[in-house]
Every structure is written in structure tokens, then in C-alpha cells.
């Protein structure tokens, strides 16, 4: 059969709000033209993020009731630890309430002034946590991974040669860890190949630098390896994931993605000393080592989520739904980052709104208009999120100007996707009318969350 079906049926439904264009224009103004300030009660389709927005299964909901809320030694923690170890193989698993909490602990221990941490592409919170310790975050994604309109199987890959040259230049002693983000969220949810993980590890090993995966979307990455990389078609996704982790010395994870749950995260490591120090910090700020800031029922749901996410019928639907969304947009002629990644469709704002300069935030302008037209929330990943200013105040734009429509897991049906594509197509047809925006207030770190905007007259 050619028709892709959702491999689940719906047991509980949640009403979604329908608003008018007039209401949405007023709401945008009240939200300082930043979608993060919009109230969800006024959003019809929410594609701001795929993080923590998963619909849990009936088994996970049953698991919540079964959660053991003991402060120390909870059986739910041990179930969680077993599920994570089974996939990652790491000796020490330190729970945290979400990915950035794991990052904060790791970089508090490994970061600091003078330290440099490479990645294929750092996610914003990873970069934020590194820079907050006064360390430097650098990206080494391959050239093709920076080009939205070029198709390749593994656009998340690390440029291993550039990485090695850099290590030689700055000295391995200044690089406490190298990260690798699977899939590469900021670069379009693009996967990293097994060969690239292996080659990256080989270079790092030469210089004694540990490799940590930022593994929020490890199952989606593993599924792409199965589909696209020679020698993996007949392996299970679980075997592929296990092999991916076998090359790493540790990981940080936001389990709000491929943990198929609404909250959670962890650090995994084989380094006993690092684990001990991480546990000290954990107790000071997150909670005891068998809950890390989570309700134990959340650990129970995660233990089940880690099994469900490796179900290949689920992954076929998951990656297939995102592809279907991208294909529809391309049929309408809308420029998107190709090929579609694992968790989101990214509009290529440079080609979408050619008349808006990067310093006038074309991606942000598109995101505002898609909300105005269809009540759909998305997120700019471009000059608002990653733009900088040089010493003369000149805007330095990132490689790509994107608008991400992240698809929550198991939440929206085919008609929701069709409705969203139709709204985006309408904005595209009227793209000449799009106006640039300016920032009228911003905080010093991670400005996209709370910055305030106005349209340029
Ligand atoms: N690393 C990556 C690759 C991520 O995508 C995220 C979160 C994090 C780390 C941080 O995890 O949110 O649990 O603290 N990404 C979300 C997103 C927010 O919308 O892509 P967190």
C-alpha cells in the first residue's frame, strides 16, 4: 500500500482553538511580534517545537500511574536507567529535568575561559551554556550542510578535515570535549552518517579528546542511516543506535524529543570522575541522583518512550509525515531546505523573501505572517537566533535564514499538515508584501525567546 497511515488510533482528543485574522493581528501586536509571547489558547496548529509536545501512548499514561515517587532509589529511575543503558551503553546515567540542564552541568565542569568546544552545529542552548562559562562554541558542519537548496544524504556531517586542522591550530589541551548533534537541528534536522561519526571519533582519539553526542533525536538519525547508508538496511534501528553510541564517550540528551515524553533529559558518560562531579552539581541544583529534577512518573514514561521510539512502523510514519509536508510545500513551489529532515520542515527564507535583508529578519517576518494567515506558530532559525554584530555594529548573518515548522510527535493528522502547507503557500503567493522587522528590545543571551519586535515602516 502506498498510503502512509498514522500507526495509532486516537483515544483522547484535545480541542484546538480557531481564531480570526482580525483577532490574530491584535494578538501579534500584544505579543510584541514575537511568537514566543503568543498564548497557546490562540494557536490553531503549534509547530513552534517538537520538544516536550509529544502525545504519549496509553502505555505511557498507564506508566504515570505506576510511577514510584520515592525520593531516593525509585523503581521508576531504575527502569529509566535500564532503558537508557540498553540503547547507549554508557556506564553512568545522570537524569536532568531537560536537555539544557544536562548541558549546564557538563559545561560547568568542562567549559570556562580559554576552552573551545566544537560541534557539527551547536543548538542555541548548547551554545548559550558554553558561552555562559566564557568558553567558545565553534561549528564544523560540512559545506553542503550550509546550503539549503543542495540535496545530500547526510547534511549533518562534521567536516572532519576542518576539525582536525582546528585542533592542530588551537591545541588539543584547550578542547575538553567535542560535541556532535544528531540529528543536526539547527542545520535542518539533517542526519549524520555512521561513517562520519566513526571518522570524527578517529580524529578525536588521536588527540585524546572525548566525543559526546547531543542525541535528542538519535532514533530519527538512526532511521535515516538505515534508509540511506550502505550496509545498514538489514539492521534494526536499535542496533544502529547502539552502534552510534558505541563510538561516543558520552552524551547529553533532551528526552523531550526522542524520549517521546513531555519532559526529561540526562547525561550519559563512561568517565567515573566526570560522573561523580556531575552528580554533585546535580544534587545542588536539580535534585537527587535518582530523579534529577523530574517527577519519578516522568522517568517511568520515558522508560516506555525509549522503547516505543525505536519501533520502525512509528519511525516510518514519523519521517514520512515530515517528508509529506515538505513534498506538499514543494508542489506549491515554496522554497524549503532539502531534503526534509527528521522532525521539521524548514522554509528557506532567503529564497522565500528575497527583498528582505538578513538584518531585517526575513524568517521572522514569514513566521509572523503564517500566524496571521493561518493561526500557525513556527520559529525563525536565522539572524534573530544566531545573528551577531561585529565591532562596527555591522550585522553578521548565519549561513542560513530558516523558518522551522517542527512537527510534534504523534499529535497532528494528515489534514493538519495539509492545512499548514496551504497557509504557507498563501503567504508565499503574497510574498512581495512581506515587510522586514526590527528588534526594539533584547536580552544579552538567547534573545529570540524574549526579544520584542516592530515592523519596519
Ligand atoms: N540540543 C538540541 C539539538 C536541541 O534541539 C535542544 C532543544 C536542546 C539541546 C536543549 O534541550 O530544550 O530540553 O533544554 N531543542 C528544542 C527545539 C527547544 O525546539 O528544537 P531542552
pLDDT in tens, 165-219: 999 999 999 999 999 999 999 999 999 999 999 999 999 999 999 999 999 999 9
Asked which of 259, 293, 308 is the last residue of a domain, the reply is 308
Q: Is residue 186 part of a domain?
A: yes
Cα distances (Å, whole numbers) of residue 332 to 192, 292, 416, 429: 29, 46, 16, 9
Does residue 393 share a domain with residue 246?
Answer: no
Does residue 31 share a domain with residue 132?
Answer: no
The whole-number pLDDT of residue 1 equals 86
Other CB atoms closer than 10 Å to residue 146's CB: what's the count?
A: 17
* Strand ranges inside 99-147, DSSP E: 116-119, 136-139
Q: Is residue 183 part of a domain?
A: yes
Does residue 325 share a domain with residue 206?
Answer: no
pLDDT, tens digit, 9 for 90 and up, residues 236-274: 999 999 999 999 999 999 999 999 999 999 999 999 999
Does residue 259 share a domain with residue 140?
Answer: yes
Does residue 210 share a domain with residue 72?
Answer: yes
Q: Is residue 88 part of a domain?
A: yes
The whole-number pLDDT of residue 2 equals 86
pLDDT exceeds cutoff 90 at 292: yes
Which residue CA neighbors atom 19 of ligand 1 most closely? 49
CATH number of the domain within which 182 lies: 3.40.640.10
pLDDT, tens digit, 9 for 90 and up, residues 32-71: 999 999 999 999 999 999 999 999 999 999 999 999 999 9
CATH number of the domain within which 327 lies: 3.90.1150.10
5 band by pLDDT with thresholds 50, 70 and 90:
very high
* Percent of the chain whose pLDDT exceeds 70: 100
Distance 100 CA to ligand 1 centre (A): 7
107 band by pLDDT with thresholds 50, 70 and 90:
very high
The mean pLDDT of 288-304, rounded to a whole number, is 98
Cβ proximity of 242 and 89 under 8 Å: yes
338 band by pLDDT with thresholds 50, 70 and 90:
very high
Does residue 40 share a domain with residue 187?
Answer: no
The mean pLDDT of 390-418, rounded to a whole number, is 95
Angle at 50 between CA 46 and CA 51, to 5 degrees: 115
Angle in degrees, 0-180, between the axes of helices 194-206 and 160-170, rounded to the nearest 10: 20
The mean pLDDT of 126-148, rounded to a whole number, is 97
The mean pLDDT of 126-139, rounded to a whole number, is 97
Q: Is residue 9 part of a domain?
A: no
Q: Ligand 1, closest atom to CA 98?
A: 13
Q: Is residue 11 part of a domain?
A: no
Q: Is 256 in the pocket of ligand 1 (CB under 6 A)?
A: yes
The whole-number pLDDT of residue 446 equals 85
Asked which of 242, 275, 308 is the last residue of a domain, the reply is 308
Q: Is 127 in the pocket of ligand 1 (CB under 6 A)?
A: no
Q: Is 186 in the pocket of ligand 1 (CB under 6 A)?
A: no
Cα distances (Å, whole numbers) of residue 229 to 160, 212, 216, 219, 222: 18, 22, 21, 15, 10
pLDDT exceeds cutoff 90 at 18: yes
Q: How many domains does the chain have?
A: 2
Residue 51 DSSP code: S
The whole-number pLDDT of residue 445 equals 83
Q: Is residue 319 part of a domain?
A: yes
Domain that holds residue 37: 21-50+311-455
Does residue 315 share a domain with residue 278?
Answer: no
Asked which of 281, 308, 335 is the last residue of a domain, the reply is 308
Q: Is 252 in the pocket of ligand 1 (CB under 6 A)?
A: no
Q: Is residue 4 part of a domain?
A: no
Q: Ligand 1, closest atom to CA 181?
A: 3
Residue 190 DSSP code: B
Q: Ligand 1, closest atom to CA 52?
A: 13
Does residue 245 share a domain with residue 105?
Answer: yes
0.75 cut: is pTM over it? yes
Does residue 319 share a domain with residue 205?
Answer: no
Closest C-alpha to 17, from 27, 29, 4, 7: 27
Q: Is residue 15 part of a domain?
A: no
pLDDT exceeds cutoff 90 at 141: yes
Does residue 367 share a domain with residue 249?
Answer: no
Distance 217 CA to ligand 1 centre (A): 10
Q: Which cell is 290 given?
A: 535518582
Whole-number average pLDDT of the chain: 97
Cα 87 to Cα 83: distance, rounded to the nearest angstrom: 7
Does residue 321 share a domain with residue 244?
Answer: no
Does residue 248 share a domain with residue 117?
Answer: yes
Amino acid at each position: 500500500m502506498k498510503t502512509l497511515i498514522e500507526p495509532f488510533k486516537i483515544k483522547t482528543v484535545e480541542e484546538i482553538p480557531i481564531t480570526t485574522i482580525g483577532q490574530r493581528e491584535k494578538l501579534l501586536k500584544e505579543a510584541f511580534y514575537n511568537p514566543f509571547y503568543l498564548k497557546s489558547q490562540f494557536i490553531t496548529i503549534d509547530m513552534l517545537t517538537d520538544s516536550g509536545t509529544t502525545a504519549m501512548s496509553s502505555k505511557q499514561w498507564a506508566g504515570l500511574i505506576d510511577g514510584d515517587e520515592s525520593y531516593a532509589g525509585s523503581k521508576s529511575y531504575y527502569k529509566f536507567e535500564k532503558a537508557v543503558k540498553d540503547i547507549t551503553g554508557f556506564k553512568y546515567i545522570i537524569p536532568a529535568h531537560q536537555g539544557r540542564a544536562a548541558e549546564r552541568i557538563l559545561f560547568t565542569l568542562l567549559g570556562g575561559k580559554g576552552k573551545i568546544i566544537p560541534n557539527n552545529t551547536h543548538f542555541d542552548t548548547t551554545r548559550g551554556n558554553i558561552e555562559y562559562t566564557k568558553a567558545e562554541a565553534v561549528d564544523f558542519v560540512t559545506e553542503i550542510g550550509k546550503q539549503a537548496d543542495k540535496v545530500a544524504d547526510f547534511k549533518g556531517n562534521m567536516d572532519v578535515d576542518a576539525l582536525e586542522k582546528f585542533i592542530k591550530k588551537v591545541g588539543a589541551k584547550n578542547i575538553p570535549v567535542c560535541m556532535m548533534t544528531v540529528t543536526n537541528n539547527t542545520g535542518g534536522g539533517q542526519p549524520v552518517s555512521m561513517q562520519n561519526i566513526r571518522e570524527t571519533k578517529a580524529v578525536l582519539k588521536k588527540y585524546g579528546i572525548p566525543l559526546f553526542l547531543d542525541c535528542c533525536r538519535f532514533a530519527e538519525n538512526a532511521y535515516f542511516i538505515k534508509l540511506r547508508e550502505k550496509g545498514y538496511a538489514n539492521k534494526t534501528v536499535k542496533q544502529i543506535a547502539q552502534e552510534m553510541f558505541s563510538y561516543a564517550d558520552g552524551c547529553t540528551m533532551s528526552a523531550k524529543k526522542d524520549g517521546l515524553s513531555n519532559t526529561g533529559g540526562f547525561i550519559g558518560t563512561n568517565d567515573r570522575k566526570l560522573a561523580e562531579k556531575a552528580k554533585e552539581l546535580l544534587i545542588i541544583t536539580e535534585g537527587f541522583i535518582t530523579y534529577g529534577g523530574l517527577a519519578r512518573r516522568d522517568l517511568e514514561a520515558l522508560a516506555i518512550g525509549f522503547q516505543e521510539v525505536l519501533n520502525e512502523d512509528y519511525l516510518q510514519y514519523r519521517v514520512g509525515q515530515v517528508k509529506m509536508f515538505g513534498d506538499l510545500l514543494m508542489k506549491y513551489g515554496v522554497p524549503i531546505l532539502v531534503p526534509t529532515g527528521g522532525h521539521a520542515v524548514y522554509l528557506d527564507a532567503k529564497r522565500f523573501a528575497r527583498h528582505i535583508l538578513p538584518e531585517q529578519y526575513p524568517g521572522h517576518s514569514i513566521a509572523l505572517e503564517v500566524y496571521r494567515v493561518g493561526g500557525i506558530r513556527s520559529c525563525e532559525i536565522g539572524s534573530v537566533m544566531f545573528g551577531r554584530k561585529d565591532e562596527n555594529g555591522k550585522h553578521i548573518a548565519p549561513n542560513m535564514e530558516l523558518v522551522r515548522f517542527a512537527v510534534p510527535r504523534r499529535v497532528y493528522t494528515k489534514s493538519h499538515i495539509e492545512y499548514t502547507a496551504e497557509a504557507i503557500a498563501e503567504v508565499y503567493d503574497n510574498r512581495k508584501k512581506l515587510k522586514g522587522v526590527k528588534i526594539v528590545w533584547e536580552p544579552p543571551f538567547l534573545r529570540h525567546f524574549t526579544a520584542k519586535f516592530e515592523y519596519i515602516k
